[in-house]
Chains A and B, each alone.
Chain A
Amino acid sequence: MSTRRTIQIDPVTRIEGHAKISIHLGPDGLVETARFHVTEYRGFEKFCEGRPFTEMAAITARICGICPVSHLLAAARTGDKILAVSIPPAAEKLRRLMNLAQIIQSHALSFFHLSSPDFLLGWDSDPQQRNIFGLISANPELARGGIRLRQFGQGVIEALGGRKIHAAWAVPGGVRAPLSAKTRDQITAGLPEAHAVVRQGLDVLKQLLDQHLREELHVFGEFPSLFLGLVGKGDRWEHSSGGDCAGVRVMDSDGSVVADGLSEDDYASYLSEAVEPWSYLKFPYFKALGPEAGSYRVGPLARLNLCERIGSEQADRELLEYRDRGGRVVTASFLYHLARLIEILACLEQMERLLDDPEILATHVRARAEVNCFEAVGISEAPRGTLLHHYCVDENGLIERVNLIIATGQNNTAMNRTITQIAKHDLTAAELAQPQLKEALLNRIEAGIRCFDPCLSCSTHASGSMPMRVQLFGADGALLDQVSRG
């Protein structure tokens, strides 16, 4: 007799937001599919209507406290285009500097605080200890390093914008304040320690990948898909629009370029979003190929696939080694973790270069103008992937329409495929026959989500927080098991 069931993990923890996972068993009693449910929605696209476009940076920064700088920069970029100005070169460089700082702090949080307890303490370690505080007791040096690295990134944001979170600093036309030589020197002084921490993180992770984490490479979301993101001129790694950016590239897993040099202005012609009734997170896809074949991944894994080189010495060396490990186009989602550490290194090297450029101290940092355009799209690479803000304004600059395409959402299909792959692999008939599923196995399924470092505050752009949970459902749709830990 077939008894189909469902398992729930609720909430998913150590991710940035509110979510649940449900695992559905087929008539044969084996895992058929797993679903990632984002459980929150706030409604920014609607309630921003009527606000002056100059407020959008401050409002949309509150989409997400982890990567507020991404929204700040995308909103400012959209604002530049509404003013129809090119911003002063120093402002361009300062914005890039802040984006680098934010990628550093956000990636450090993802790796050291949220994900590393899984593989440093072990999948099946005590769930009470499997967190940053457990890491502090088990490996205080590494934990302290991670905390210091995040602090470095946050400190740069504070040095530029006056506060660590929700700094009101980038504005349409540029930034509010120039950089002083003293602050520049303070930032520079922090670089060597940051380098040392990321080096340590790379050594630890690579060693684990060589020894204990081989299986994870093949089970944690290893599949072909498209990859989408910004690239720089000369096929370099890129994180910001403007300057040397060569637009959006879409690449297939075999390395073929599906589309190149796409402009954010036309995003609606090549991106579309599907809705499923069981999640507040939509499913964006590359329109020409449809929801299935057109699903793509964004973020560190995509950015490293899309470029030929990073453009700085140490990061490029790591990139070569990374490709030896994962192939020219890396399709193993578990390597998001390694890609994140390589990006931190890239950010530190680019930061150093920017700080050496005398133009970064120029005091003309803001261009002023009236509303000159009524519609604009701004794009930026957030730590988790490509971010688009699209505003329509009236002649007074009041918002008439808003659309936001946010990084994490674009990984939605990939996250669902990843947890399905892990659940099918780990939840064997023998495991499913146990009266109670092993906590460690369910943690591994959650860890599949953690590879993507989803920021669910952001992703339902409009939504808020998410602890995560897992549920197991039968073929009749009846709820069979819920994971409640502890």
Chain B
Amino acid sequence: MSAAKPRKRLATVWLAGCSGCHMSFLDLDEWLLELAQHADIVYSPVASDQKRYPPAVDIALVEGGVANSDNLALLKTVRANTKVLVSFGDCAIHANIPGMRNMLQGADPVLRRAYLDLADSSAQLPHAPGLIPELLDQVLPVHELVPVDVYLPGCPPSADRIRTVLEALLQDRRPDLSRAGEIRFG
């Protein structure tokens, strides 16, 4: 090899999920030390203080469905600034548990239960434009809103499978999850 490969710019993004997919990423454990030699983590809720999603990201792992206006705005920024967007985990792929509220009529019933029924005399629906986002009526999977390049199912995907995908993407290959048991939900 003549020239050293440029380091990849890696991001991890957290929408409406439980962080379990991120924890599974951290379950890469000592492989993280190796990862750090091939990639810069340019944005991540668990491993960076970068507040704004940066431009020219090579790979983004996106956890969670889209449940509120902040999730939606962030997802659009991510898509516009990312080469390979990975729909990371079942919540991102099919809304999963957060999507259970889609069976109800809009966001109102879930809000009323927590903030009106299960509260003291200060009961009220949270509302502070600019500070806290409004819930969307439905929790949507990532690919319904923006194009997705790679799907990595699992609740969460195991660290091994995350590694398989990252190793391929770091070498500009398409990840191959077709081996037995590698594509699984739950």
Q: Name A residues whose Cβ lies closer than 8 Å to a Cβ of B.
A: 9-11, 13-18, 20, 22, 37-43, 45-48, 59, 62-66, 68, 109, 113-114, 127-128, 130-133, 136-137, 140, 143-144, 147-148, 150-151, 154, 163-166, 272-280, 282, 291, 403, 443, 455, 457, 460-462, 464-467, 469, 471, 479, 483-486
What is the CB-to-nearest-CB distance from B28 to chain A, in angstroms, rounded to a whole number?
9
A41 interface neighbour in B14, B111, B123, Cβ under 8 Å:
B111
5 A–B contact pairs at CB < 8 A? A45-B118, A46-B101, A131-B48, A275-B115, A485-B50
CB-based contact A46/B46 at 8 Å = no
Q: Is B181 an interface residue (CB 8 A)?
A: no
Q: What 0/1 readout, one digit per residue, does chain B (25-62) give for beta carbons within 8 Å of chain A?
A: 01101101100100001001111111110100000000
Taking a contact as CB atoms under 8 Å apart, the answer to whether A136 and B36 are in contact is: yes
Residue B132 lies at the interface, judged by CB distance under 8 Å to chain A:
yes
| B residues in contact with A128, CB < 8 Å | 48-50
Bound-state CA distance A260–B101 (Å) is: 38
Is A144's CB under 8 angstroms from B16's CB?
Answer: no
Q: Is B109 an interface residue (CB 8 A)?
A: yes
Q: Are B132 and A279 in touch, CB under 8 angstroms?
A: yes
Check if A275 sits within 8 Å of B155, measured CB to CB. no
* Alpha-carbon gap, A403 to B115, bound state (A): 12
User: Contact between B19 and A16 (Cβ–Cβ < 8 Å)?
Assistant: yes
Of the listed stretches B64-72, B75-83, B166-174, chain A binds: B64-72
Q: Which residues of B contact A9 (CB under 8 A)?
A: 51
Bound complex: CA A292 to CA B145 (Å): 43
Q: A13-B49, A15-B45, A147-B29 are in contact. List 4 more A-B contacts (CB 8 A).
A: A11-B51, A42-B98, A43-B114, A274-B120
User: Is the Cβ of B132 less than 8 Å from the Cβ of A39?
Assistant: yes
Beyond A47-B103, A464-B15, whether A37 also contacts B114 by CB under 8 A is no
- A64 to B22: give the CA distance in the assembly, Å: 11
Q: Which residues of B contact A14 (CB under 8 A)?
A: 45-49
Q: How large is the interface on B (under 10, 10 to 19, 20 to 34, 35 or more residues)?
A: 35 or more
Tell me, yes or no, whether B183 is within 8 Å of chain A by CB.
no
Neighbouring A residues of B109 by C-beta, 8 Å: 43, 46
- Tell whether, in the assembled complex, residue B16 and residue A42 are in contact, meaning their CB atoms are under 8 Å apart: yes
The reply to whether B131 and A131 form a contact with Cβ atoms under 8 Å apart is no
Which residues of B does A touch, CB under 8 Å?
A: 14-24, 26-27, 29-30, 32-33, 36, 41, 44-52, 54, 63-64, 67-68, 70, 96-98, 100-101, 103-104, 107, 109-115, 118-120, 122-128, 130-133, 135, 155-156, 158-159
Minimum CB–CB distance from A84 to chain B (whole Å) comes to 25
The 8 closest A-B pairs by CB, nearest first: A65-B20, A43-B110, A465-B14, A46-B113, A62-B97, A47-B100, A278-B128, A464-B16
CB of B10, distance to nearest CB on chain A (Å): 10
Q: B18 contacts which of A45, A62, A127 (Cβ < 8 Å)?
A: A62
Q: Check B32–A273 contact: CB distance below 8 A.
A: no
Are A136 and B49 also in contact (CB < 8 A) when A45-B113, A68-B20, A275-B126 are? no
Residue in B20, B54, B68, B107 whose beta carbon sits within 8 Å of that of A40 in the complex? B68
* Candidates A22, A163, A291, A457; contact of B131 at CB < 8 Å: A22
Contact (Cβ within 8 A) A464 B26: no
Whether the pair B45, A13 counts as a contact (CB closer than 8 A) is yes
Question: How far is the CB of A293 from the nearest CB of chain B, in Å?
Answer: 15
**Would B20 and A166 count as touching, CB distance under 8 A?**
yes
Contact of A280 among B96, B104, B132 (CB under 8 A): B132
Question: Which of B36, B49, B51 gathers the greatest number of chain A CB atoms within 10 Å?
Answer: B49
Of chain B, the residue at the smallest CB distance from A50 is: B103
Please determine whether B16 and A469 come into contact, CB atoms closer than 8 angstroms.
Answer: no
Which listed residue (B33, B118, B126) contacts A140, Cβ 8 A?
A: B33
Q: Of the candidates A42, A143, A273, A467, which one forms a contact with B119 in the assembled complex, judged by CB atoms under 8 Å apart?
A: A273
- How far, in angstroms, from A257 to B50 measured CA to CA in the complex? 44
Q: Which of A38, A275, A403, A457 has the most CB of B within 10 A?
A: A275
Contacts of A143 in B (CB 8 A): 33
Whether the pair B104, A47 counts as a contact (CB closer than 8 A) is yes
Residues of A within 8 A of B97 (CB): 42, 59, 62
